[in-house]
Amino acid sequence: MNIEIRYYSKTGHMKKMAGAVSSVLGVEAKSVEEPVVDETDVLLLGSAVYAAGIDGKIKDFINQLDPAKVKNVICFSSSAILESSYAQVKKLLEARGVKVDSREFHCRGQFALLHRGHPDAADIENLKGFVKGLNLKW
């Protein structure tokens, strides 16, 4: 099974989370600035919500995905206020013809003093547990 990890991080939170996913799967986490070029069974995509929306870099990444190469996307995200970026990301992916898994991980992210310290160690452990629970064959 070919697994890829991509993320976009303005603050470092998503990079930290992508690193946790990487540590479980043994697959290098890469920035969305690096396109997916190989056939991919599962793409784990990390995004965050900034000012109630996903960043343009995530939108650009999704818009260049080849639905013939990416079979399934599993989302992980953080945000200070919204529940997750899943609905926004799913809408864009499905418009491109890319299948989106219903399983997703979300935790709080820090914004100014709101949710200070998140994602914290417990959030990272919960993310690792989520990834282990996906039972991906690699």
Domain membership of residue 122 (yes or no) is: yes
pLDDT beyond 80 at 62: yes
Output the pLDDT for position 33: 95
pLDDT in tens, 116-132: 666 889 999 999 999 99
Q: Which of 52, 42, 122 is nearest to 85 (CA)?
A: 52
Output the pLDDT for position 136: 85
Domain membership of residue 73 (yes or no) is: yes
Domain membership of residue 138 (yes or no) is: no
Q: What domain count does the chain have?
A: 1
Domain membership of residue 55 (yes or no) is: yes
Domain membership of residue 7 (yes or no) is: yes
pTM of the model: 0.88
Domain membership of residue 109 (yes or no) is: yes
**Which CATH number fits the domain that encloses residue 47?**
3.40.50.360
Range of the domain at 16: 3-133
Domain membership of residue 101 (yes or no) is: yes
Sign of CA dihedral 64, 72, 80, 51: positive
pLDDT in tens, 16-59: 999 999 999 999 999 999 999 999 999 999 997 666 678 889 99
Output the pLDDT for position 103: 95
First to last CA, the chain: 5
Q: Which two three-digit tokens encode residue 27? A: 């697959």
Domain membership of residue 77 (yes or no) is: yes
CA 28/CA 112 separation, integer angstroms: 30
Least confident range of 3-7, 10-14, 57-61: 10-14
pLDDT in tens, 66-93: 999 999 999 999 876 656 778 889 999 9
CA 80/CA 66 separation, integer angstroms: 31
Q: Which of 21, 119, 1 is nearest to 74 (CA)?
A: 21
Beta bridge partners of 107: 78
